[in-house]
Amino acid sequence: MELLTIFAHSDFRAASLQLFHDINERDLVAINQLIATCSVMLVKAGQPVIQAHTTDNRLYIVLKGELEVLSQEPAGSSAANQLQYLAGECVGELSVLDDEDQPHTVTAKSDSELLVIEAETLWQLIEDCNGVARNLLQLLSFRIRTTNALLRRRHKVGEFYRQMSMIDGLTGIHNRAWLQSQLPQMIERAHVTGNPLSIIMADLDHFKQFNDKHGHIVGDDAIQTAAKLLNSTLRPSDYAVRFGGEELLVILPDCANAPCFSVAERLCKKLAQTPVFKDDHSPLPHITASFGIASLAEGQDIFTFIASADAALYRAKKAGRNQVSR
pLDDT at res. 30: 85
pLDDT at res. 28: 86
Residues 99 and 30 in one domain: yes
pLDDT at res. 214: 86
What is the residue-level pLDDT of the chain in tens, covering all 326 positions?
555 444 444 345 677 788 888 888 888 888 888 888 888 999 999 999 998 888 888 999 999 999 998 765 544 444 444 678 999 899 988 888 888 787 788 999 999 999 999 999 999 999 988 999 999 888 888 878 877 877 787 777 776 666 677 888 899 999 999 999 999 999 999 999 999 999 999 999 999 999 888 888 989 999 999 999 998 889 989 999 999 999 999 999 999 999 999 999 999 999 999 988 776 666 778 899 999 999 999 999 999 999 999 999 999 999 999 999 99
Coil, strand or helix: which one is 111? coil
Rounded CA-CA distance 322/326 in Å is 14
Within 10 A of 221 (CB to CB), how many other CB atoms are there? 17
Rounded CA-CA distance 123/236 in Å is 62
Residues 18 and 122 in one domain: yes
pLDDT at res. 279: 67
Residues 100 and 195 in one domain: no
Residues 261 and 311 in one domain: yes
Rounded CA-CA distance 276/94 in Å is 63
Rounded CA-CA distance 2/184 in Å is 62
pLDDT at res. 5: 43
Residues 184 and 269 in one domain: yes
pLDDT at res. 12: 57
Identify the domain containing residue 134 by its residue range.
2-162
pLDDT at res. 3: 52
Query: Does 170 map to a domain?
Result: no
| CATH number assigned to the domain comprising residue 271 | 3.30.70.270
Query: Does 168 map to a domain?
Result: no
Query: Does 301 map to a domain?
Result: yes
Rounded CA-CA distance 206/228 in Å is 20
Query: Does 167 map to a domain?
Result: no
Residues 33 and 157 in one domain: yes
Within 10 A of 281 (CB to CB), how many other CB atoms are there? 4
Query: Does 169 map to a domain?
Result: no
Residues 96 and 156 in one domain: yes
pLDDT at res. 53: 84
Rg (CA), the chain: 33
Query: Does 74 map to a domain?
Result: yes
Which residue among 246, 247, 265, 298 is the active-site one? 246
Query: Does 313 map to a domain?
Result: yes
Residues 14 and 143 in one domain: yes
Residues 12 and 126 in one domain: yes
Examine the fold and report which residue of 105, 140, 162 is the final residue of a domain before the chain moves on: 162
The pTM (predicted TM-score) of the whole model is 0.57
Give DSSP secondary structure letters for 277-293: ---TTSPPPB--EEEEE
Examine the fold and report which residue of 98, 129, 162 is the final residue of a domain before the chain moves on: 162
pLDDT at res. 189: 95
| CATH number assigned to the domain comprising residue 64 | 2.60.120.10
246 among known catalytic residues: yes
Residues 157 and 209 in one domain: no
Number of domains observed in the structure of the chain: 2
Residues 130 and 197 in one domain: no
Residues 147 and 33 in one domain: yes
Query: Does 171 map to a domain?
Result: no
